[in-house]
Amino acid sequence: MEGMLDVQALDVVRETFLLILLISAPILVVGLVVGLVVSIFQAVTQIQEQTLVFVPKILAMVATTVALFSWIAMKLMEFSAEMFMWSPVTGT
């Protein structure tokens, strides 16, 4: 019985990490793309200011978070409802 609870706990942790990856991936991809574009702009114009990349990247990531907030909230509520309905005894 205890071994089964360990497997179920690992399943919950796995699902949690997958949700974290799913929620954070779009925001991180936007930060990556904006950072790459700004870096290419710096290389082309030979502007070597190290802090130039941070402001556009932060603004883009905040805008993405605001735009996706309802989707993020929906995913978190679905996950929370699933966790509250889950029973460690029955595994359902």
pLDDT tens digits, 22-37 = 999 999 999 999 999 9
**36, 17, 39: which is closest to 28 by C-alpha?**
36
The number of residues making up the chain comes to: 92
**Amino acid at residue number 92:** T
Residue 74 or 9, more confident: 74
pLDDT, residue 2, reads 62
- The pTM of this model reads 0.78
User: What amino acid is encoded at 20 in this protein?
Assistant: I
What letter does residue 49 receive in the DSSP assignment?
-
Amino acid identity for residue 22 in this structure: L
Amino acid at 42: Q
